[in-house]
Amino acid sequence: MSPLTERSVNTIVTVVSSFYRYHLQRGTSLSNPIVSEQLPDRFSGFRRFIIHTSRGKATRRTIKLKEPRRRVKTVKDVDFEAFLETTDNLQFRFILLLMREGGLRVGEILGLLIQDLEFHRNGVWVRRRNGLENGALAKRMVEGEERFVDLSPEFMALLDQLLLHHTFDTDHLFVVLKKEARDKWGNSTYGHPLDREAVKALFRHYSHKTGMRLDECSQLTLADIEFGERSGRVTIRSGKGNKARTVPLNASARVALTEYLAHRFGGQPTVKAVAAARPPSHARFAPLWRSQKGGTLTTSAMRQMLDAVVRDAAARSLVPADTCAHTLRHTFARNYLAENPGDIVGLATLLGHTSLDTTRIYSQPTIEHLARRIEQLSQNA
């Protein structure tokens, strides 16, 4: 359980203090447990307009924790483009772009109706409506209030394409498109308006789906793997953007593959034994990773296996609990740059990045690296 923030503590103190003041003002015999301090008006920096009516009475102020100044967190263009690139859900891409281009809140987006779109003005109306099916509400607006948000003509043209596929019996712009979707009571939600929990689930899903990537790994065949005792490589034939690339295999990866294939072919865990036991050329397009039933191991199954390993390792404090396939990909990238400083082009080739700007995020030092550098400065001072 994470500790309460200063703002949360102050909110609790204010609510409890207001509760006791309410009852004390009505003659209830209670003692307020909230600590306050006396602030005489004549010593305060601010003099109220009606200070002459206080007759020297002191003002009581509840003692609170000092709240740190909140810094607004933003997303860099390169990070947003990288995240958007991993998103194959058309509706979710529109939601992300509405947040980015129009600055709309989640509640405002989920409350959009088809009639809120104005293509001749290139924008959308944000309106507060109570009683919507998905519970969406435009924050800080009163009933009937509205504002117009300008959007680019290109984005409005994309929204027009989205409407062509909208055949549901609802005016909500964003709906559940997964036919097997169910709510917590088991009722079908297909065609119903998207709610906040569904958007959160989409963020969680695509935050981990950037990770060689899991979907690339699940598509490998035996023909994509070539390795010997001193070298090896894997050919990724259908990477992101339908691009192919070749990635070298280091010694530890070659050893792991040898042990896995030896168990699969029923031979000795040596490179020569595995090479001799490999199937003929016409059968080498069989999937590299097989499920227990002999079929292809899916990306979803891989992610479940990795999650199980992470939970077990996290319980023994070996890895952070939020480790995922994408974390391993980040680790590889940072380790590569640590061994080959400045080789952004080589790393981009290995990761399958089209833009070097996407790869450069790995060259930024982490907090741990900065801490070690500062520690070395203090030792050398």
Q: Per-residue pLDDT averaged across 142-171, rounded? A: 87
Are 77-207 and 214-372 in the same CATH fold? Answer: yes
pLDDT, tens digit, for every residue of 214-244? 777 888 888 888 877 777 888 887 666 666 7
Residue 171's pLDDT is 92
Residues 6 or more apart in contact with residue 353 via CB below 8 angstroms: 347, 359
Whole-angstrom CA distances from 375 to 338, 365, 371, 379 are 19, 15, 6, 6
Q: Binning pLDDT at 50, 70 and 90, where does residue 210 land?
A: very low
Residue 111's pLDDT is 92
In one-letter notation, the amino acid at residue 135 is G
Measured CA to CA, the distance from residue 195 to residue 198 in angstroms comes to: 5
Residue 205's pLDDT is 62
> Residue 47 pLDDT more than 50?
yes
Q: Per-residue pLDDT averaged across 72-100, rounded? A: 73
Q: What phi-psi label fits residue 242: left (phi over 0), alpha (psi between -120 and 50 degrees) or beta?
A: left
pLDDT, tens digit, for every residue of 303-312? 788 788 778 7
Residue of higher predicted confidence among 253 and 192:
192
Domain ranges in the chain are 6-62, 77-207, 214-372
Measured CA to CA, the distance from residue 247 to residue 256 in angstroms comes to: 16
Fold classified for 77-207: hpI Integrase; Chain A (1.10.443)
Q: Per-residue pLDDT averaged across 155-172, rounded? A: 87
Q: For a pLDDT cut of 90, what percent of the chain falls above it? A: 8
Single pTM value for the model: 0.46
> Residue 32 pLDDT more than 80?
no
Cα atoms in the 13 Å half-sphere on the side-chain side of 85 = 17
Measured CA to CA, the distance from residue 164 to residue 119 in angstroms comes to: 14
pLDDT, tens digit, for every residue of 326-364? 666 777 787 778 788 888 888 777 777 777 777 777 777
Residue of higher predicted confidence among 68 and 102:
102
Residue 208's pLDDT is 46
Measured CA to CA, the distance from residue 148 to residue 153 in angstroms comes to: 15
Determine phi and psi for 110, rounding to 5 degrees: -70, -20
Residue 301's pLDDT is 82
When mean pLDDT is compared over 77-86, 151-160, 196-205, 272-281, the highest value belongs to 151-160
> Residue 203 pLDDT more than 80?
no
Determine phi and psi for 234, rounding to 5 degrees: -125, 135
Residue 325's pLDDT is 61
By annotation, the residues acting in catalysis are: 213, 240, 326, 329, 353, 362
> Residue 206 pLDDT more than 90?
no
Q: Does the domain at residues 214-372 carry the CATH identifier 1.10.443.10?
A: yes
pLDDT, tens digit, for every residue of 247-299? 777 777 788 888 888 888 888 888 888 888 877 766 667 888 888 777 888 88
